[in-house]
Chains A and B, each alone.
Chain A
Amino acid sequence: MSATEGLSELDTAPGRTNRLDTVALATEQPDDAQPYAELGLKDDEYARIREILGRRPTTAELAMYSVMWSEHCSYKSSKVHLRRFGDLPKSDALLVGMGENAGVVDVGEGYAVTFKVESHNHPSYVEPYQGAATGVGGIVRDILTMGARPIAVMDSLRFGRADAPDTARVLPGVVAGVGGYGNCLGLPNIGGELLFDDCYAGNPLVNALCVGVLRHEELQLAKAEGVGNKVVLFGARTGGDGIGGVSVLASETFDAEGPAKRPAVQVGDPFTEKLLIEACLEIFAAGLVTGIQDLGGAGISCATSELAAAGSGGMAIDLDAVPLRDSTLTPAEILMSESQERMCAIVEPDKVEAFLAVCAKWDVLATVIGEVTDGDRLTIDWHGERIIDVPPRTVALEGPRYERPMSRPADLDALQADTPPSSSADLRADWLAVVSSPDGADKSWVTEQYDRYVRGNTVLAQPEDAGVLRIDESSNLGIALSLDGNARYARLDPYTGAQLNLAEAYRNVAVSGAKPLAVTNCLNFGSPENPEVMWQFAEAVRGLADGCRELGLPVTGGNVSLYNQTGDVAINPTPVIGVLGVHADVTRRVPTGWRADGESVLLLGETRPEFGGSAWAAVVHGHLGGLPPRLDLAAERSLGEVLTSLAADGLVSSAHDLADGGLAQALTESALRYGTGARLNVTGDPTAALFGESVARVVVTTADPAAVRAVAEAAGVPVTELGTTGGDALVLDGLLELPLAELRAAWTATLPALFGSPEVAVGTVPAGTVPTS
């Protein structure tokens, strides 16, 4: 049964046909049976609601608790583990930590940056375009809610096998949705990930990041204070889309036999969101709000209960005032609707007029729907009758918490004992196979669908290791961001895997020349009701927390997405980690591509024969087993400091981190970026040298190798001279020679071959499309 069916049954339950379920009725008829199970509530959760209220909940209250106590909103399975992030040492840079809509970090010169990554996995599988589009829209509103102007987005995408028929259904829609929404909002897409694995076949991952910038004094908080202050709902009208999205989609496992869940996916309107952004920023600048919250998962239920719970008083809402798209919606549906592009503000009475005037200027609908009261209750009336009367903290903050059972996956010992192959039979063929695999191949098919230029501050964007943005045009202050999540490593060892992902994102930010500053994360896992999944989750959180402690970085917030599985099969644990760095001077940024001939190519870091979870083992041997590469955060830290220093002194002309696909992948990307080859000489075991994935390694080019060597060795970072840039081939002496034309053909052909070539015949116009005047 779907959530909407459950609700319509609520309103027509025997004995209550066509009669509004009010607080009075709930008291009068305490024993009415209620379909809480269909709304995702367990027996003991329902019992607790009855205990809190001292009676049965009304239909509307049941709807509100069911969405707010869902896994998605309450973090009931993950909260006991996420506490580890809060236990990290205090960071001076952190202005607002976890618990608000997004963390806020001081980046200097009076600027602050807020950033967060969030999943929209399940909606994107059900309806790829709208699911992905509204994923972008939701995270952008979280950033806006902090008082920041959103300045860029990133996307981290995972699909089933690239040649699977359903991937051809899901991927083009997701990419078009991410692009369609972000492009129309005027936010540059500055990077992300695109990866394929069978484990995502019935459960793709769509994680979207947004970053925003504000002055310290512009910070806004989501709380309702001040008795008599007005509650203003503004933005789009409320419709029937996305009802029960969080409880139905995000908190349940997909069942191949189940009913179609399309009605629970929201529909996006980026034009309205663009107007909402501009209106909000004008409202913030004029000091017209005392608190603000966006409406996302759980809609009005979430916004009103969270605003009230964070404040010191209560709140009274008149639900009849909510502007509707569909006048037949029941009160419970209005409360649960996840219609997009809506915000809720707390406004002092004498500022309401000015508030409404700004909204009118931007053609944004704004309506006073209630006010802050001096009690400790959240009350909601409908047609003059009270349908909700609850303590808001019990809805928003005091949801259930579970210490779910955990057990190490039974197959993990066997998996770790299954060591990967370690010798390539044909280095050249393997090289081409790795870089032309869907994971290794050129991503232009995707990234050309994203605007990377809008706002004019994009210094680096995909395919660079990190996205780099200018924040201030006069001082050239800027930031760098990278999102990384190797799920193969996390499958082999979730504790180390999460740290390796953190290390990669950290390294990518450092490669651009930035100093890493703070961490966000999106933790994508299977069902928490499976003890093996819960163990993976707990291990990943423990790993990430330990890694952040060692690197001295705070976790500013994040998102947990559970129930990512189809039937009994969970996805590989996929902790996607975002690292934010700061550039004192973005003109010193370091790109990944080689431009000049005759420069020295140096490898920083140490190479070991490590193939567990590697791209080479997966692509060439279809193998996943053994242990992931050895983690060395001290080496990462030293390397990061060396890279930041080399960039500041202008000593390197390019830098590229070594990750999936090892040296072969990195050299391919650096050479093809601007069509500059190199003659190189690698020593030691060639398979390890080319395809091993030892961490804390970076390839740099420089006109002054002695200076680079001196800086690196002073920090204890090993340096290997590989050779010199130039020519139109990658030549590895004694091993292989790859003409760039051949390499480029292999690298660029893969995605267009899978998802369609977007080229069109020049100058042709299909018949019937030519205007006649």
Chain B
Amino acid sequence: MRIGVITFPGSLDDVDAARAVRLAGGEPVALWHADHDLKDVDAVVLPGGFSYGDYLRAGAIAARSPLMADVVAAARGGLPVLGICNGFQVLCEAGLLPGALTRNGHLHFRNRDQGLLVERADTAWTSSFEQGQRIVVPVKNGEGRYVAAPAELDRLEGEGRVVVRYVDGNPNGSSRDIAGVTSADGRVVGLMPHPEHAVEELTGPSVDGLGFFTSVLSALVVAA
């Protein structure tokens, strides 16, 4: 299975995402923001970082890069897409996911090992988990506070589109402790925490993050 990892100018966790794909058993494929070429990948990861320095708004400029036009079109056709941190911000700015990520309530960048509750274990990226499973994955962001209009939040909750929620403390003031959401079809997922930093005992607080990457590999097997 070929999983693309996009590098935008200012992407930082692209090497980590590629490593996570490899450790999960997939083949990471480097994708370049300026190319109109998805290289026939089976799924795409938008990694963390500060694309374009997060100038203007986090993710705003990257969302308008050439390759994102292809990603949006492919996602509307069912291509699994995972946006992590800055990647989540890009997906919201690109209109693939609802809501927005704003400056943390406490105004600080915050890096800690974060408890998460998996509320949807049937998306393309979370099928390796059990519904209701608690996992620990690092969170690290300065603009990770998820916001949407109250009616929008109600709709997301009603449709069960909150994929992961913060537990044991909300690190950034996100509305309703929302850490990640999915598209209506469960193929596009965005989350602020970093599953790619929890894939090895040696370097992570857990190996819980690996589940996101094994999920998409098995989803692809099922689809094939």
Task: Report which A residues bind B (CB closer than 8 A).
Answer: 176, 179-180, 183-186, 269-272, 274-275, 362-363, 444, 447-459, 470, 473, 586-587, 757-766, 769-773
Contact = CB atoms under 8 A, between A and B. Distances in A.
A87 to B, nearest CB: 40
Contacts of A452: 111
Nearest to B50: A184
Interface in B178-204: 194, 196-197, 199-200, 202-204
B106 A759 contact: yes
B73 interface: no
B106 A453 contact: no
Contacts of A450: 109, 111
Nearest to A773: B149
A761 B106 CA distance: 10
Given A763-B176, A765-B147, 19 more contacts: A184-B12, A185-B12, A186-B13, A269-B53, A271-B52, A271-B54, A275-B9, A448-B111, A449-B110, A449-B111, A451-B109, A452-B111, A453-B203, A456-B196, A456-B203, A763-B174, A764-B173, A772-B149, A773-B149
B175 A765 contact: yes
Contact of A271 (B10, B15, B102, B111): B10
Contacts of B12: 184-186, 274, 454-455
Interface residues of B, number: 50
7 contacts: A184-B50, A186-B49, A271-B9, A454-B48, A456-B16, A763-B174, A765-B175
A459 B49 contact: no
A449 B109 contact: yes
A62 to B, nearest CB: 37
Given A184-B53, A453-B197, A769 B147 contact: yes
A444 B110 CA distance: 10
Contacts of A771: 99-100, 147-149
Given A186-B49, A271-B52, A769-B147, A454 B9 contact: no
B202 to A, nearest CB: 6
A451 B48 CA distance: 12
B134 interface: no
B170 interface: yes
Contacts of A757: 106
Q: Please name the 9 residue pairs, one residue from A and one from B, whose CB atoms are nearest each other, closest first.
A: A271-B53, A186-B12, A760-B105, A758-B106, A453-B197, A456-B16, A760-B173, A762-B170, A184-B50
Contacts of B169: 759, 762
A470 B102 contact: no
Contact of A451 (B10, B140, B200): B140
A424 to B, nearest CB: 35
A463 to B, nearest CB: 13
Interface in B118-149: 138, 140, 142, 145, 147-149
| Residue of B54, B55, B148, B202 with highest tally of chain A CB at under 10 A | B202
Interface in B89-118: 99-100, 102, 104-112
B199 to A, nearest CB: 8
B20 to A, nearest CB: 8
Contacts of A761: 105, 173
Contacts of B105: 760-761, 764, 766
Given A763-B170, A770-B147, A456 B106 contact: no
Interface in B139-172: 140, 142, 145, 147-150, 169-170, 172
Contacts of A586: 202
Interface string B11-29: 0110110010000000000
A473 B20 CA distance: 13
B16 A451 contact: no
A400 B184 CA distance: 71
A448 B108 contact: yes
B177 interface: yes
B13 A459 contact: no
Contacts of A274: 9-10, 12, 50
Contacts of B106: 757-760
A530 to B, nearest CB: 39
Given A271-B50, A271-B55, A456 B10 contact: no
A772 B152 CA distance: 9
B105 to A, nearest CB: 4
Nearest to A184: B50
Contacts of A759: 106, 169
A459 B203 contact: yes
Given A450-B111, A451-B111, A770 B53 contact: no
Q: What does DSSP make chain B's interface, helix, strand, loop or mixed? A: loop
A470 B50 contact: no
Contact of B53 (A270, A760, A762, A764): A270
Contacts of A458: 203
| Residue of A473, A758, A772 with highest tally of chain B CB at under 10 A | A758
Contacts of A184: 10, 12, 50, 53-54
A771 B200 CA distance: 38
Contacts of B49: 186
A587 B203 CA distance: 10
Contacts of B147: 765, 769-771
Contacts of A448: 108-112
A109 B109 CA distance: 37
A698 B138 CA distance: 30
A362 B9 CA distance: 7
A357 to B, nearest CB: 13
A272 to B, nearest CB: 8
Nearest to A454: B12
Contacts of B54: 184, 271
B104 to A, nearest CB: 8
A769 B9 CA distance: 28
A455 B15 contact: yes
Contacts of B50: 183-184, 270-271, 274
Contacts of A447: 111
| Residue of A274, A362, A772 with highest tally of chain B CB at under 10 A | A274
A3 to B, nearest CB: 29
Contact of B170 (A180, A457, A760): A760
A468 to B, nearest CB: 10
Contacts of B10: 184, 271, 274-275
Contacts of B55: 271
A766 B104 CA distance: 11
A587 B53 contact: no
A471 to B, nearest CB: 13
A272 B50 CA distance: 11
Nearest to B105: A760
Nearest to A478: B202
Nearest to A273: B53
A763 B175 CA distance: 4
A213 to B, nearest CB: 13
A771 B173 CA distance: 15
Interface in B20-51: 48-50
A770 B99 CA distance: 9
A279 to B, nearest CB: 10
Contact of A183 (B102, B109, B196, B202): B109
A185 B53 CA distance: 9
A760 B15 CA distance: 32
A453 B173 contact: no
A454 B53 contact: no
A444 B112 CA distance: 9
B207 to A, nearest CB: 13
Contact of A180 (B16, B109, B174): B109
B148 A770 contact: yes
B154 to A, nearest CB: 13
A586 B102 CA distance: 38
A759 B204 CA distance: 24
A177 to B, nearest CB: 11
Contacts of B108: 176, 448-449, 758
B172 to A, nearest CB: 8
| Residue of A457, A764, A765 with highest tally of chain B CB at under 10 A | A765
B112 to A, nearest CB: 6
A473 to B, nearest CB: 8
